[in-house]
A and B are shown apart, each in its own frame.
Chain A
Amino acid sequence: MQKITIPRLGWSMEEGKFISWLKKPGDLVSVGEPLFELEGEKSLQEIESVEAGILYIPADAPLPGEIVPVGGLLGYLLEPGESPHSHSQSTPEPAARSFTGHDELAAAVVKANETSLGKSPTEIDRPENLAHLPVASPRARHLAKQFQVDWSSLQGTGRDGRIRESDVQEASGRGAAGRPSNNAKQGLGTISPRRKAIADRLRASRDLTIPVTLTTTIDATELVHLRQRLKHSNPRLVPAYTDIVACLIPWIYKSHPHMAVVWDTQHKGLIPVPHDQIHIGIAVDTPDGLLVPVVQQVGLKSLQTVTQESRKLIEQARTGRLPKTAMQGGVFTITNLGSYGIEAFTPIINLPEIAILGLGAIRREPVVMPDGQIMARDRITLSLSFDHAAVDGAPAASFLRDIAAAMADPAAYILNSVH
């Protein structure tokens, strides 16, 4: 018997609104299947089951619409043949009520028992019963969770019927590379959980923020030089432009307290970001869509450390190994579309943050210098989207001006930093 509890969806979430069950009592739930809907601090989410079993909902379980604290009990997943009575101390209600109140469960339990042995529940021999469960390789189980395939019903092609990766791929209708194949049923659109999560986040931003995007173009010659110099001194750890800019943000925050804030969990008030909590998100394009891994405590770290950490996070993001915790806690995000030749764009604010900075392509252009000469210089356009609900245009513009100034002469900040 496994407990189903309210998960923590964000770093500050203390409670959530239980919306509804996506399974009926008595349903056989597989690992990875959507089990219930929960409204967290940011969005409505379908919560996947992390265990397999038969759904059992006690009579006093929370009802749809109730606010439940993180960790609060919603129900149980029972193993086939397992009765909720056998765990009286952890079952919050008397047995009789359970069965009269949940006929479907009673039927399911009995059915599960009958199909395996045709014996009454008390006669069930557990190990023997377990022996009838199919065996799947760890890789197959992992993939099944990702594709939301119920592997327990598959016929394995491995030794002694072991379910292998290829069996799950076939059942999911996807090709060997782990991508959807062309056999997907015509007419019915699908969306991956990852895509849905991205859409939900963006929609929440659209609904809750009043975004305004400011752009400015600056001389990036020194920025390019700095990176060249760092590349020369250590070719194995060359910072990306996003890393350099991330390291500038804590400096700029010092003189822009209005910008150094995030929304609280209720999206009602603004919380100041202390210097040791400046966690900066870096937007990464991955095969599975947009991810924003967060480099922690940038204000306390050297450019070298930030570069190492961001490189690792980006690698994890691109290989599907980024832990959920590595995407939480950001206070500011940097997104770079420069490699696509994009110059300016309108980045979407990543809640609960109040601003996001977009970096455009660095291009070489003729520039009229102060002395009237025309010189070839590197130029970059910055696009800062900020939430007008949180801060006004003038402070945001001043913030962007100071970022621009720092980026125009970054060495002063980066090389002198004594974090």
Chain B
Amino acid sequence: MANSTQNLTNERLGSLYRTMQVIRQTEEELARCHQRGLIHGACHTYVGEEAIATGVCSHLNHNDVVFSTHRGHGHALAKGMPPKDLMAELFGRSTGCSQGRGGSMHLFSPEIGMMGTSGIVGPCILQACGGGYSSKILNNGTVAVAFFGDGAANNGAFHEGLNMASIWKLPVLFICENNQYATEVPFSYASGNPSVGNRGSAYGIPGFELNGNDVLEIYRVAGDAVARARAGQGPTLIECKTYRTRAHAEGMGDFTYRTREEVEAWKLNCPIAGLRKSVGVGNYDLARSAELVERFDQIDAEVAELVKEARDYAESSPVPVAETATNHVYGPQLGPVQDPVGPSSRTISFSQATLEALSEEMAINPTIFVMGEGIGKRGGNFVTTKGLYDLYGPERLCDTPICERGFVGLACGAAMTGTRPVIDFMFADFVLDGFGEIVNQIAKMRYMSSGRLKMPVLLRGCIGIGHSAATHHSGSYYGMYGQVPGLRVVVPSSAEDAKGLLKHALRCDDPVLFLEHREILQAKGPVIEGDFEIPFGKGRIVRQGRHVTVVALARMVHLVSSVSDELEREGISVELIDPRTVSPLDTDLILESVHKTGRLLIVDEPPGQYGFSAEIAARVVDEGFNDLDAPIKRLTGAFCPTPYSPSLENVMVPNADQVLAAIRELMSE
């Protein structure tokens, strides 16, 4: 410590001391407030670890971005969040940094580069990679920092994130705060390799192992790492060995997994006391030492006043209005959508239509980049990016390792920091490895930040049963995604819809699951040339009819269409509706149709249980009961994984005969 202090000015030393003291005193006040029942949920304090956030964040400016973990109060404060914003948030007030939507584990202040803390261990590592990727795409020199604990070092996100950061030389600092317990499980038990810092070499990046309670050491090493990142030399892993001297969360028992003696010993190793000690007369001349001690004393008093004011502010702030509870799930509706000026005489395939939409949008919007396996030079397994690599280069057409969770998490961080990622996951089954990133992070980010973070992520890939693809290349899953607030789920059936919906998705600021049925990718249809969008939540009447309403998506639209003429000859007039988007769902269009026909059949490829068809049936019963002249019928896929052999695969999915029978049966009800 002695060597490094002498290079720093009194101002810098005071500033480091002040940040640590703000964290310490705020945390202690929060602990008191928690005891008095003023904090509603969990409260994870950072007491004992102040040196790390302080040493690292001192090198960051407001454009640099921090992604943090459940123990994130210190990161937020060190990044520049005023204590009053933090305290108001924990008090559940509308003046809190997340306006009352987050609490201790969901702190957002994107305005100052505090991109959020998370209740899930690991995602911040991937999101920081996304922040780094945005920095490359936007070429704006920003640096991203992930703070995470020793628990995350043994999580897959660590492996996937560090590897991606290494191969793409991302400007990212990975700061592992090894406080020796992942909640209550000792690191010494949970880790085969007792060092985190030396794992850097496994990924080909510099790694350091530091005393996490020595703010000056951290300041020095982090400074080098930030400089390296800004210079385009890639990421750094820094392990800071430290200890939290309060319980995992306020109110939790502490001595089932560690001893009082151990805690007391670490309290003596306090980083704040350590900095005070380092400016003693042993290291400085008497005058400078006295001046620093006086400065520190003054800071102590100022911070005490600041924290008191913060608490008063939090306590007197209004609670959020209950009526606003569901605001910010989605972004505001886009402006008027350009109507298609069709019909077009040109006929192209579904995949040509989506390629055209993507290429047109990438030409307009330089923040769009595509990630996926084989989407670079190869042009995509399903030719989704054919030719784009030559047009837009390797950074915007980025081939990935096979790490779906990794690059989906990266997309989240990229979207948070100003770019528009397109994740081409090839098969919907594959992206399930990133399901947590989609559901917990991407879908919730706008809401948790009270609308301040946009989430323009497009996740696209294939669904659907056929050609003996078997069970890991054939799932649809859209019903599952339809249950997630915050997501838009698009399942087009025609080439023209695919182009219009994809263009809309690439202009929408909400995350979109764009699911393309593999068996209709080559289906051709007229597609308007040039610019047009199809908004979400507007279904299409594929065929007008009078007697029975049939709702279907994707390939099932084609199937029902193919038998409708036969039914017409029998005197059964089918009205076929393709909602086009699962979420939002165009309930009105379906209700209008049922009002006309009095009968409803839903034909859907995936299993019916808890699915898309069940949702439609429930809505029609709720809102259109008096229009029903017969029970609602569903014809869905089998509740079964998809088998390989054609004889088995054939019986998984509704076929033409079953559709005919179901409609005839419904007419006789």
Q: Which A residues fall within an 8 A CB radius of B?
A: 137-142, 158-159, 162, 164-165, 234-236, 319
Contacts and interface: CB of A to CB of B under 8 A. Distances in A.
A159 B336 contact: no
Contacts of B595: 319
Given A235-B336, A236-B336, A138 B627 contact: yes
B336 A139 contact: no
Interface in B442-457: none
Given A139-B628, A234-B336, 18 more contacts: A137-B598, A137-B628, A138-B626, A138-B627, A138-B628, A139-B598, A139-B626, A139-B627, A140-B629, A141-B626, A142-B626, A142-B627, A159-B669, A164-B629, A165-B598, A235-B336, A236-B336, A319-B595
A84 to B, nearest CB: 31
Contact of B668 (A137, A140, A159, A234): A159
A15 to B, nearest CB: 32
B341 to A, nearest CB: 13
A137 B336 CA distance: 41
Contacts of B626: 138-139, 141-142
B573 to A, nearest CB: 12
Nearest to A165: B629
B630 A158 contact: yes
Interface in B654-669: 668-669
Nearest to B668: A159
Nearest to B630: A137
B389 interface: no
A93 B326 CA distance: 53
B240 to A, nearest CB: 56
Nearest to B665: A159
A139 B668 contact: no
A164 B598 CA distance: 10
Nearest to A166: B629
Given A139-B598, A159-B669, A319-B595, A164 B336 contact: no
Contacts of B669: 158-159, 162, 164
Contacts of B628: 137-139
Contacts of A165: 598, 629
B284 interface: no
A144 B598 CA distance: 15
B203 interface: no
B392 interface: no
Interface in B619-659: 625-630
Interface of B: 336, 595, 598, 625-630, 668-669
Contacts of A235: 336
User: Which of A137, A165, A235 counts the most chain B CB atoms within 10 A?
Assistant: A137
Contacts of A140: 629
A111 B626 CA distance: 32
Nearest to A140: B629
A398 B626 CA distance: 49
A235 B629 CA distance: 37
Contacts of A141: 626
A319 B588 CA distance: 13
A269 B595 CA distance: 44
A135 to B, nearest CB: 11
Contacts of A164: 629-630, 669
Contacts of B625: 138
14 contacts: A137-B598, A137-B628, A138-B627, A139-B626, A139-B627, A139-B629, A141-B626, A142-B626, A158-B629, A158-B630, A162-B669, A164-B630, A165-B598, A165-B629
A137 B669 CA distance: 10
A235 B625 CA distance: 34
Residue of A139, A141, A162, A164 with most partner-chain B CB within 10 A? A139
Closest 7 CB pairs of A and B: A142-B626, A139-B629, A137-B629, A165-B629, A138-B625, A139-B598, A138-B628
A236 B538 CA distance: 14
A388 B131 CA distance: 74
Contacts of A236: 336
A162 B625 CA distance: 16
Contacts of A162: 669
A28 B231 CA distance: 90
User: Which residue, B626, B629, B630, has most C-beta atoms of chain A within 10 A?
Assistant: B629
Contacts of A139: 598, 626-629
A141 B626 CA distance: 8
A234 B336 CA distance: 7
A140 B669 CA distance: 13
A327 to B, nearest CB: 20
Nearest to B546: A176
A154 B423 CA distance: 60
Contacts of B336: 234-236
A344 B625 CA distance: 44
A139 B591 CA distance: 13
A234 B337 CA distance: 11
Contacts of A137: 598, 628-630
A319 B594 CA distance: 13
Contacts of B627: 138-139, 142
A236 B598 CA distance: 30
A328 B96 CA distance: 44
A393 B629 CA distance: 55
B237 to A, nearest CB: 53
A142 B628 CA distance: 10
A321 to B, nearest CB: 9
Nearest to A236: B336
A142 B595 CA distance: 12
A319 B595 CA distance: 10
Nearest to A234: B336
Contacts of A234: 336
B667 to A, nearest CB: 10
A236 B630 CA distance: 36
B450 to A, nearest CB: 26
A79 B485 CA distance: 46
A159 B631 CA distance: 10
A319 B628 CA distance: 16
A236 B595 CA distance: 24
A159 to B, nearest CB: 5
B532 to A, nearest CB: 15
A235 B669 CA distance: 43
Contacts of B668: 158-159
Contacts of A159: 668-669
A138 B629 CA distance: 6
A236 B627 CA distance: 29
B357 to A, nearest CB: 23
A171 to B, nearest CB: 15
A325 B27 CA distance: 56
B601 to A, nearest CB: 15
Nearest to B599: A139
Nearest to B594: A139
A138 B628 CA distance: 6
A159 B628 CA distance: 14
Nearest to B595: A319
